[in-house]
Amino acid sequence: MAKGPGLYTEIGKKARDLLYKDYQIDQKFTLTTTSPTGIAITSVGTKKGDLFLTDVTTDIKVDTYSNLFTTITVDQPAPGLKAIFNFRVPDQRSGKYLHEYAGISSSIGLTANPTVNLSGVIGTNVLALGTDLSFDTKTGNFTKCNAGLSFSNADLIASLTLFSTNESAITIGTQHALDPLTMVKARVNNAGKANALIQHEWRPKSLFTISGELDAESIDKSAKVGLALALKP
C-alpha cells in the first residue's frame, strides 16, 4: 500500500461522487447492458411530475489503442438523435510532484488565454487534506477553489466553489457504510438545502436508492423524496 496521500484527483473524484452522485428527487430507472465487443447500452426513464422522460445511450468503442469511441443518444419526449465521436488529445502541459506526505500537480491549457490549474494534497494514505485551484488568465480571477478532506474509513468533504461573479457556494457532505452493501450519504450547502440518501446494492452492480431534499428557505413546504433503481445484469 502506498504511504503518501497521492494527488488531488483522488480526493476530487471522491468530492464529486460524495456531493452530487445518486442524489435524486424524482423517480428514475436505469438499465445498462454490455457486450464482449465493447458496446454498452444504457436506458434511463425519469418521472418528473406529470412528465415521463426517457433516453437511450449507446457507447461503442471504436479503437482500443487510440481511445476512440462514439456515443449515440436518443431522447424522448423530444425525439432526436445525437452522435458524438470522442477521442483523447493531449492538450495540456502538466507536471506533478509526489512526496511521502504531499502531492502537487499543475496544468495549463494551450490556448491564447489559458486556465491554470494547481492542486495540492498533504497527509498520509489514512488522512489527507487537499485543495484544487483554477485561475483564469484572461480575467485575472480565481474561477474555482475546491477543498477536500478524506479519511481511510469514512469521508467528509468540504467543497468551496468561487465564481467569476464573486459569488461562492459552500457544500459539506459525508457518507458512511452501514454494511458492505448499504450506504448513507448527506450534504448541506450555504443556501440552506439539505439532502440525504440511503442506497442498497441488492444484487451485484444493481442499486436501489431513496433520497430526500429539504429547503430551509421553504420549510413550510413538504420535503422532496426521490426513488432510483439501477440495474446492470
SS3 assignment, position 229: strand
- Res 222: pLDDT: 72
Per-residue pLDDT of the chain (233 residues; tens, 9 = 90+): 456 677 777 776 777 788 888 888 888 888 888 877 777 888 888 887 777 777 777 777 655 555 555 666 666 555 555 555 554 444 445 578 787 888 888 888 777 788 888 888 888 877 788 888 888 888 887 777 777 777 655 566 666 565 545 566 778 888 888 999 999 999 988 888 899 999 999 888 889 999 999 888 877 777 788 888 888 76
- Res 63: pLDDT: 55
Burial of 104 (0-12, 13-18, 19+ CB in 10 A): middle
Q: What residues contact residue 98 under an 8 Å CB cut-off, 6+ apart?
A: 4, 6, 7
Rounded CA gap, 132 and 193, in Å? 24
Helices (H) and strands (E) in the chain, counts: 1, 16
Residue with cell 450555504: 190
